Structure 1
Amino acid sequence: MSFDFELILAIAFLVTGVFWVYDRIVYFPKRKRVLANMATEARSALGKEAQQRLAETPKFVVEVKSYFVIIAIIFGLRSFVVEPFQIPSGSMLPTLKIGDFILVNKFDYGLRLPVLNITIIPTTEPKRGDVVVFKYPLKPDLNYIKRLVGLPGDQVSYRNKILTVNGQQVSKDLLAKLSISLNPNQEPVELFSENLGGVEHEVYNSYRFTPHEGEWTVPEGHYFVMGDNRDNSADSRFWGFVPDENMKGRAFYVWLHWDEFFSIPSFKNNGLIE
């Protein structure tokens, strides 16, 4: 079962904000008058919580509005500065591992309204080679992470494990042949160093057939994305293009790795995402 944490946080921000404003308009002036009429010693003896209850301020108003500031800070940071995510699958291996906790830059692609994701202040455009987080087009309450391969208007081809963009083959060099398991078939893989738009990163190719080969023309206002685990990734080859309004930001840093709840978190793989 999935849930939209961004939407839940936005609702919490609005609800606590309404109570905070209501308290400032209705009860705060009354509390201020009561405190002004009290002797200095009596005023000093009152704790902060007791002061909040003056002027018959309802307890539920005090409780709800007390969360507003911390929720506003979290909401602002997540919406406009940086947002944390956890990697749930192996589609971005070897760049990102299952259990990696990453940070996503939320203002690289423009400041956007939370939930609606509408750009209000343009900044820079997504670039080929970026690792991007976006709302899955077929189910927008899910967040996906892939590498941006095709920009609007690009011609993208993937055949026989060869990636071509606008007629130019994307260069890659074999680094190693590995005997590791990327899926239940326990198949070996080849590790390559790929240069995509000047961004050097590593990718995996399996020895089996290349899934869903083809050629695609990226429409305006959309992007073509692929996983670095090229033969084990459900990406634009399968479900289509990513609309610009679904873009959430650029993944830039791994700050923690935690395999499972009862394992020990690790910081050894911390670093910038290439």
Structure 2
Amino acid sequence: MNSQIINEKIKSRNPIIAFLLAFFFFGFGQVYNGQIKKGIIFFLIEFIFLLIFGFTRLAVTFFGFISILIIGFIFRMYVIFDATKTAKNLKNYKLKPYNTWYYHLAIIIGISTILWFSDSTLIVGTKSYSIPTTSGEPNIKLGDKLIADLNAYDHKEPNYGDLVVFQQKDSLYPGMYRIVALPYDRIEIRNNFLIINGKKCQTSFIRKTKSEGFNVNEYEEQLPNGHKHKIFAFKKPFEENTSMVSERRIPENCYYLLGDNRDNAMDSRYIGIIKKDEIKGRIVFSYWGKTNDRINIDFRNK
């Protein structure tokens, strides 16, 4: 009888199960192997890593962001390897009280709840976006992978030329355009060129080129604070009513946003002004794209 009970409490660990648990639930492979303290420590280490990167704001730089990915990948691979190797060596494992399906389920629910309420993007202070349109050309390209600084405006106000991520309350998807007018500004658009507070923004012709098969002119535009960036304008405006906008005043805590591809952007000419609380962050750099030259572009200077 006693030997039967002992045999029932001894069972080898399956390396495949340990691998899968460690892969999908950080530290849970160790719990499966009876190393609950180790699993908790691994989980806390990953959480502390995120806090450190968020506090130091390293993730708003390209090399800081890459270091997060590398360190995170190496540490995760180690945790998975440790769980798998340990399980392989546990031929005569004595089951712990928590090695039951209901304890495991409770731990999974607990970990999932913690992860749900501690969004890693909010902790690190950055979020990745993929560009699905050409509305930001010639600066932002179709297929670019961008990082936005979610805390960019915690201690300062949005400014002319900032490329920002925003989401209106009635919209399911975020938008990404450039701030061209600030609160209390008077803005007017003539032939896709800006007039801010009665003064035309300086523009310089660069070249003739194409965008999605359309003939466009490329210009360099300078905003009131001196910020310079490139824009596209169709040789023949796609819609006359958007290339010509009568003067209007921007209300308090609101901003006017335009796409750099002036004839091919659903910006403030269509969706209206953007409120400050709808601005979620500032685009800071790219980390990937369709070509190698799209890696590590600093959009704070574009």
Q: TM-score, normalised by structure 2?
A: 0.62
Paired position in structure 2 for 1:120: none
Residue 169 (structure 1) aligned with residue 197 (structure 2):
no
CA distance in 1, matches of 2:93, 2:167: 43
CA distance in 2, matches of 1:82, 1:169: 35
Cα contact 1:95–1:202 (8 A) shared by 2: yes
Give the aligned residue type for 2:249. Answer: T
Cα distance change on mapping 1:48 and 1:204 into 2, 3 Å: farther
Residue 191 (structure 1) aligned with residue 218 (structure 2):
yes
In structure 2, list runs of 5 or more residues that go unmatched.
1-24, 26-35, 37-89
CA distance in 2, matches of 1:87, 1:109: 22
Paired position in structure 2 for 1:59: 104
**Structure 1 runs, 4 residues or longer, greater than 6 Å off:** 45-49
Percent of aligned pairs with the same residue? 24
CA distance in 2, matches of 1:254, 1:70: 26
Cα distance change on mapping 1:48 and 1:240 into 2, 3 Å: farther
Residue 155 (structure 1) aligned with residue 186 (structure 2):
yes
* CA shift for structure 1 position 92: 0.6
Residue 272 (structure 1) aligned with residue 278 (structure 2):
no
CA distance in 2, matches of 1:205, 1:83: 30
* CA shift for structure 1 position 144: 0.1
- Structure showing greater radius of gyration is 2
Residue 234 (structure 1) aligned with residue 266 (structure 2):
yes
Give the aligned residue type for 1:188. Answer: N
Alignment of 1:244-259 (within 5 A): 244-258=276-290
CA distance in 2, matches of 1:149, 1:137: 21
In structure 1, list runs of 5 or more residues that go unmatched.
1-15, 17-27, 29-44, 111-122, 259-265
CA distance in 2, matches of 1:102, 1:202: 18
* CA shift for structure 1 position 234: 1.3
Alignment of 1:1-274 (within 5 A): 53=98, 58-67=103-112, 75-78=119-122, 81-110=125-154, 123-136=155-168, 138-139=170-171, 141-178=172-209, 180-182=210-212, 186-196=213-223, 197-209=225-237, 210-212=240-242, 213-214=244-245, 215-258=247-290, 266-270=291-295, 271-273=297-299, 274=302
Count of aligned pairs: 207
Cα contact 1:87–1:98 (8 A) shared by 2: yes
> How large is the RMSD of aligned CA atoms in angstroms?
2.9
